[in-house]
Chain A
Amino acid sequence: MYRYDEFDLGFVRERVAEFRDQVARRLSGEMTEDQFKPLRLMNGVYLQLHAYMLRVAIPYGVLSGRQMRKLAHIARKYDRDYGHFTTRQNLQFNWIKLADMPAILEELAEVEMHAIQTSGNCIRNVTADHFAGAAADETVDPRPYAEILRQWSSLHPEFSFLPRKFKLAVTGAAADRAAIQVHDIGLEAKRDAKGDIGFAVWVGGGQGRTPMIARKLRDFLPEADLLAYCEAILRVYNLEGRRDNKYKARIKILVHEKGTDEIADAIENEFASLKGKALDLPAAEIARIAAYFAPPALADLPARSAKLEAAKAADVALARFVDRNVSAHKRPGYGIVTVSLKPVGLPPGDATSAQMDAVAALAERFSADEIRVSHEQNLVLPHVRLDDLPELFAGLAAAGLATPNAGLVTDIIACPGLDYCSLANARSIPVAQRISERFADLGRQHDIGDLKIKISGCINACGHHHVGHIGILGVDRKGEEFYQITLGGSGDETCSIGEIVGPGFPADRIVDAVEQVVDAYLGLRRDPGETFLAAYRRVGLKPFQEALYADA
């Protein structure tokens, strides 16, 4: 893992001291709310429906056991004993007192964490493939580049007041688990025929009220040019992005309004003036950062674990867990374990302090002290010996964390919605809970197979509904919660934006409607191997409209 150097440590400590002083001046009345609000937002402090909310950055979703224990401690000491993992690999505390914020940021700094740039019109936390450094299909580990981008973008003076927020995602595998095509900049690290590293660069993707798929501006940007090219993109956006209308201020609108060719030309011109200068990435510096992400000491093991196979044969629950929640590792004899934060009937993405401590202990024991947070609101233990899976499974089960539903219909992404969020128009969590209860039967879930349901409580789309195979958007219709269904969205390398199926459904009909969509799929799929998304792409909206609105 990356460890702070004296520069990182210095600026985080300075920021904590600065914010401590700002909070004191606010509480004493020396500073007005109008003066204070932008300052608290720069430190990740929002005022939500019920209380202040603190959003903690988890750079590219990577945590150690020690850091997870600190999050558990903060939840226990300063909050209501739980935290919420978000769709941007961050953690949110929902019930924090303003007066406690400086002490919390001080505690975070002790474990090399902070909340800087988790809000505001700046470059936000850089996200990455949650299987980075472990996945069998990975070409290049994206984490060193995500870390380089983190360092470049942290307190970047030119990009602290952008027209709007700006999000980067990085992957290093052809199978896109980081949803790079719906980010302001999406990067796919890859190798050319000579083995050199470069990046496919996607620009102008995003969700929100105007969902757009990013345009690929470069197929293979040389590794050394990464920062100069990103700086060129940001500079063009900063100068030309709209500031007259916040709903049209993201780079996706600029790309859409100016056209891809014009924007690409502007970026290339800017890049030409930056290339070969201070922002060139020296190979030695890349190697220095990459060394922090060297693989842990893993043993030479046979690909098949006789111990695991015997345990699976004796325990159907373990077999189901391995089937869904263990992914292929690049090293034989190891697996990547998804720890589902989607138990049936519970809020997606929430973990209690006790669960965070349990995951920390299990990571230290079984996963080289590494934990990942996925944008799908789950946790990941990236380096687990197959031999250890039975014991790990038992440990997860004891903590209520062994739900074997990764990628299934109950592994639902949901934003906090109207239960917590001051922007929301409708509740998300209760809908997710009721859907997961409706589909609780594991045999049925496995029969349905891969199916991503994503729920947002407003058009800002934090629940990623636009890229849900089944997307659900909550709206307020004359004071009543209504839910609009979209179908066929996908955030992977085959990225697509879901299409609205028809009129929305009231809260008491939405779960039935989702079930009708799923039943329609089961009725029309060619065979159990044809996933929901594949079937949808074959048949389109019509059969689902007929199933949903037959009586209309």
Chain B
Amino acid sequence: MAKAQATGALAVTANDLRSGTVVFRRPDGRWSEEVLEAEIALTAEAAQALLAGARADHDACIVVEPALVEITMTGNRPAPRHLRERIRAQGPTVAYGAAAAN
């Protein structure tokens, strides 16, 4: 699990326990599949608070593997900084299934 960074924007991501879907924690404490809806923490304290809420949801069997991810902002639009997390947020970079075959 990632530790809070002292600088830079951070969001909390996890996987939904039931479906496994990648989710991001929203400001209202609920979880969204859209990184655009994620709460963005700009200080270490805010990040720790965000993560603490996510861990509580982990303990309540709502999500698994909560972790902080670094975010870059383009205007008001947040996106994960690293490729791995971008792929988690947006899905595979390759077409698959019938969409690929057709």
Contacts and interface: CB of A to CB of B under 8 A. Distances in A.
Interface of A: 26-29, 33, 47, 49-52, 80-82, 94-99, 343, 346-347, 350, 352, 354-355, 400, 418-420, 427, 429-430, 433, 479, 481
A352 B97 contact: yes
Given A49-B88, A481-B83, A347 B100 contact: yes
Contact of A27 (B61, B82, B92, B100): B61
Contacts of B94: 347, 419, 427, 429-430, 433
Interface of B: 15, 17-22, 58, 60-61, 64-65, 82-84, 87-88, 91-94, 96-98, 100-101
B97 A80 contact: yes
Contacts of B87: 49, 418-419
29 contacts: A27-B61, A29-B60, A33-B58, A33-B64, A33-B65, A47-B15, A47-B20, A49-B22, A50-B22, A51-B20, A51-B22, A52-B19, A81-B97, A82-B96, A82-B98, A95-B20, A97-B18, A97-B19, A98-B19, A346-B100, A347-B100, A350-B100, A355-B101, A418-B83, A418-B84, A419-B92, A427-B93, A427-B94, A429-B92
Nearest to A433: B94
A50 B100 contact: no
Nearest to B94: A429
A430 B61 contact: no
A427 B91 CA distance: 13
A99 B98 CA distance: 25
Interface centre among B21, B58, B60, B61 (most CB of A within 10 A): B61
Given A427-B93, A429-B94, A49 B84 contact: yes
Given A47-B64, A95-B20, A427-B94, 5 more contacts: A50-B22, A94-B96, A352-B97, A430-B94, A479-B83
A419 B100 CA distance: 14
Given A29-B60, A33-B64, A50 B20 contact: yes
Contact of B98 (A49, A95, A352): A352
A27 B17 contact: yes
Contacts of B91: 50
A352 B98 CA distance: 6
A347 B98 CA distance: 12
Contacts of A81: 97-98
A435 to B, nearest CB: 14
Interface centre among B19, B60, B98, B101 (most CB of A within 10 A): B101
A50 B92 contact: yes
B93 to A, nearest CB: 6
A480 to B, nearest CB: 8
Contacts of A97: 18-20
Contacts of B82: 479
A51 B98 contact: no
A82 B97 contact: yes
Contact of B18 (A99, A343, A347, A429): A99
Given A29-B61, A82-B96, A429-B94, A96 B101 contact: no
A146 to B, nearest CB: 31
Contacts of A433: 94
B70 to A, nearest CB: 10
A241 to B, nearest CB: 29
B95 to A, nearest CB: 8
B91 to A, nearest CB: 6
B65 to A, nearest CB: 7
A400 B97 CA distance: 13
Interface centre among B18, B21, B91, B94 (most CB of A within 10 A): B94
A51 B64 CA distance: 11
Interface centre among B58, B60, B83, B88 (most CB of A within 10 A): B83
Nearest to B85: A49
Nearest to A83: B97
Contacts of A94: 96
Contacts of B22: 49-51
A419 B84 CA distance: 8
A409 B89 CA distance: 33
Contacts of B17: 26-27, 98
Contacts of A479: 82-83
A139 to B, nearest CB: 39
B34 to A, nearest CB: 14
Nearest to A400: B101
A52 B20 contact: yes
A399 to B, nearest CB: 9
B97 A98 contact: no
Nearest to B100: A346
A483 to B, nearest CB: 14
B101 A352 contact: yes
A33 B63 CA distance: 10
Nearest to B91: A50
B61 to A, nearest CB: 4
Interface centre among A26, A99, A352 (most CB of B within 10 A): A352
Contacts of B65: 33, 47
Contacts of A33: 58, 64-65
Contacts of B58: 33
A193 to B, nearest CB: 51
B88 A50 contact: yes
